[in-house]
Amino acid sequence: MRLATVRTGVGTQCVRIDDDEAVETGHSSVGELLREPDWRNHVGNVSGERHDVKSLDYAPVVPRPGKIICVGLNYAHHIREMGRDLPHYPTLFAKYAESLIGAYDNIVLPPESVEMDWEAELAVIIGSVVRRADERTAEAAIAGYSVLNDVTARDWQTRTEQWLQGKTFESTTPLGPYLVTPDDEAIVDMAGLDISCRVDEETVQSANTSDLVFSAVKTIEYVSTILTLRPGDVLALGTPGGVGYARTPPRYLSEGQVVTTEITGLGTCRNLCVAE
């Protein structure tokens, strides 16, 4: 099943996407839907207004998550090629909702940064309240998966040892186009999905989620030990090798370039870079 938050003439609406049409669920967003205790059964029986899928204007799949928690350095091959040992614990940092954009919205390049970099990532969206989860509880708490690009201001990230300031510039982080539930037939093997990023038509990142050090379930177990995860919270599981700052010479995004982020079975974000 695929769920999306779309913009309409009367505000945003949550829709269930069925092949070539989308049906409204009666909620303003996917986040609002997920707060329904029985959301899975509810969304299977909706009969609201219908839309042609080709006409949809996607907002961030969860426009206002309570939390966006990200994992850094989480692909084993990328860590080893940087000459580092695999971590014992995930490196965590946060983003804020102001950074999010829809799957086809513009990435806004701030005038304060000249080192905006791409980072294709798998996003996990929480569907139930969970605290101190074991493996089974963590897996059951997953509402679904989506595509995210953690576009990063490297010159701000590296100002200090704390990454936050480079990670959450406004209108830089596409999330979408939709949430795909774990039982969707498009997900052939959740343990290994191809993930890629293209800048214009050049592939700059290509990997598989089987290379993750900390899986979705392991990340939920770890984070939920620290604090309660709630429906609509988003976890971003880190990026593979191929980012711009690690190249020789480094490469960064510029006005007019198009960033395409894709994960097998989860869809594609395609975003034009524009100067603020």
Each domain of the chain, given as residue ranges in start order, spans 1-57, 65-275
pLDDT of res. 189: 66
Residues 103-126: pLDDT tens digits?
A: 999 999 999 999 999 999 999 999
Look up residue 173 and give its DSSP letter.
E
For the domain 65-275, what is the CATH superfamily, name and number?
A: Fumarylacetoacetase-like, C-terminal domain (3.90.850.10)
Query: Which backbone phi and psi does 157 adopt, to 5 degrees?
Result: -60, -40
Rg (CA), the chain: 18
What is the rounded CA–CA span in Å between residue 249 and residue 266?
A: 32
Residues 28-37: pLDDT tens digits?
A: 999 999 999 9
Q: In which element (H, E) is residue 135 found?
A: helix 135-140
- Judged on CB neighbours under 10 Å (0-12, 13-18, 19+), 41 is exposed
Which ranges constitute the DSSP H helices of the chain? 30-34, 39-43, 76-81, 135-140, 154-157, 164-167, 216-226
Q: Identify residue 58 by its one-letter amino acid code.
A: Y
CATH class of 1-57: mainly beta
What is the rounded CA–CA span in Å between residue 250 and residue 244?
A: 5
Query: Which backbone phi and psi does 50 adopt, to 5 degrees?
Result: -110, 150
pLDDT of res. 80: 82
Is the distance from CB of 23 to CB of 46 less than 8 angstroms? yes
Is the distance from CB of 208 to CB of 120 less than 8 angstroms? no
pLDDT of res. 186: 77
| Stretches in the chain below the pLDDT threshold 50 | none
Find, among 204, 206, 194, 178, the residue nearest to 269 by Cα: 178
Residues in a beta bridge with 126: 142
Q: What three-state secondary structure class fits 51?
A: strand
pLDDT of res. 188: 60
Other CB atoms within 10 A of residue 46 CB = 15
pLDDT of res. 20: 93
